[in-house]
């Protein structure tokens, strides 16, 4: 992610939409994985049951998870501020599609089978009246990318598009925020529970990915200014990646 060393003041860890677009243009996308999340294979039936579902993927980047879900017959709606990853995803996977202008929102990349719909838009310009309701929300480290000041607005939007019996999967990181101001922003279980008081929060996966401490970083890495989230997070004395499953109470 773009440079966001720990800084003082209100702007701490904030990132503007234009900076995300720039990150994609510069290839500063350490958060992107070239493979889909293996959790999907391992827990397919539990997540999706045995019928095709409507899945919402906020801040989707060009996540391979969406290709996997689309390939398994689900309808996937994603939102991503940068058009580049959306365009690339359709090109890289040779998915026949059309590009539509959505007034006041942005562009919609729509597969010809109408089951992969990715909006190049600000998530806060999306509404239930535009995208409808979903059985599953797949929020993998998107919640930790949102500016902290926008979290409540983000929560309200996502819960407004979730069916009453829908399931919200959310991936979050917990680390020592003194090493990195964000994004990503640290969120422990309490932060998730406090943000979603109307939901039951179940921890379903936890990985202790505590990396090397500063003292064990290779000397050339130490020389690098911490303008890279991945490297900065490795210097945190603790680093956990957790996935939660949330349902309305
Ligand atoms: C940490 S990445 C997560 C990407 C994706 N969930 C994944 O697993 O690869 C956050 C993404 O959100 C996008 N983004 C940030 N702010 C946004 C906003 N307000 N609306 C839509 N997308 C946004 C960024 O461009 C970036 O691709």
pLDDT tens column, 162-196 = 999 999 999 999 999 888 888 999 999 999 999 99
- Predicted local confidence at residue 207, as pLDDT: 85
How far lies 184's CA from each of 125, 177, 188, in Å? 22, 10, 12
- Predicted local confidence at residue 3, as pLDDT: 41
Question: Separation of 248 CA from ligand 1 center, angstroms?
Answer: 25
Ligand 1 pocket residue status of 19, Cβ below 6 Å: no
- Predicted local confidence at residue 235, as pLDDT: 81
User: Atom 7 in ligand 1: which residue has the minimum CA distance?
Assistant: 63
- Predicted local confidence at residue 67, as pLDDT: 98
At 212, list the tokens: 């090397």
Nearest-atom index, ligand 1, CA of 63: 9
CB 98 within 8 A of CB 112: yes
CB 134 within 8 A of CB 166: yes
pLDDT in tens, the chain (249 residues): 444 444 444 467 899 999 999 999 999 888 888 899 999 999 999 999 999 999 999 999 999 999 999 999 999 999 999 999 999 999 999 999 999 999 999 999 999 999 999 999 999 999 999 999 999 999 999 999 999 999 999 999 999 999 999 999 999 999 998 888 889 999 999 999 999 999 999 999 988 877 544 455 454 444 344 457 877 887 888 888 899 999 999
- Predicted local confidence at residue 2, as pLDDT: 41
Residue 20 CB contacts under 8 Å (≥ 6 apart), including other chains: 2, 81, 82
Edge to edge, the sheet with strand 97-102 lists 97-102, 106-111, 116-121, 75-80, 54-58, 134-140, 162-175, 239-248, 199-208
> Given the structure tokens 């940068």, which residue do they identify?
82
The Cα 164–Cα 18 span in angstroms is 34
> Given the structure tokens 């993998």, which residue do they identify?
140
How far lies 18's CA from each of 14, 81, 153, 233, in Å? 12, 9, 20, 23
Residue-wise pLDDT tens digits, 33-53: 889 999 999 999 999 999 999
Ligand 1 pocket residue status of 59, Cβ below 6 Å: yes
CB 111 within 8 A of CB 70: yes
- Predicted local confidence at residue 227, as pLDDT: 54
At 126, list the tokens: 């999306």
Give me the domains of the chain, ranges plus CATH numbers.
14-29+39-132 (3.40.50.150)
Q: Are strands 199-208 and 239-248 parallel, antiparallel or unpaired?
A: antiparallel
Question: Separation of 25 CA from ligand 1 center, angstroms?
Answer: 14
- Predicted local confidence at residue 102, as pLDDT: 98
CB 83 within 8 A of CB 17: no
């Amino acid at each position: 992610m773009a440079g966001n060393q720990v800084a003082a003041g209100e702007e701490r860890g904030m990132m503007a939409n234009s900076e995300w677009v720039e990150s994609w243009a510069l290839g500063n996308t350490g958060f992107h994985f070239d493979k889909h999340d293996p959790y999907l294979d391992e827990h397919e039936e539990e997540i999706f049951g045995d019928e095709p579902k409507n899945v919402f993927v906020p801040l989707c980047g060009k996540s391979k998870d969406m290709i996997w879900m689309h390939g398994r017959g689900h309808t996937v709606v994603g939102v991503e501020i940068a058009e580049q990853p959306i365009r690339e995803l359709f090109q890289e996977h040779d998915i026949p599609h059309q590009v539509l202008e959505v007034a006041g929102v942005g562009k919609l990349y729509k597969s010809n089978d109408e089951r992969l719909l990715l909006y190049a838009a600000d998530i806060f310009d999306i509404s239930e009246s535009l995208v409808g309701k979903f059985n599953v929300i797949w929020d993998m480290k998107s919640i930790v990318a949102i500016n902290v000041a926008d979290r409540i607005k983000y929560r309200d939007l996502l819960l407004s598009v979730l069916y009453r019996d829908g399931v919200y999967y959310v991936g979050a990181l917990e680390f020592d925020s003194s090493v990195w101001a964000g994004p990503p922003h640290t969120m422990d279980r309490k932060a998730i529970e406090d943000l979603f008081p109307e939901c039951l929060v179940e921890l379903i996966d936890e990985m202790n990915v505590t990396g090397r401490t500063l003292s064990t970083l290779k000397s050339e890495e130490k020389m690098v200014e911490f303008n890279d989230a991945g490297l900065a997070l490795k210097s945190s004395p603790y680093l956990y990646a957790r996935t939660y499953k949330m349902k309305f109470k």
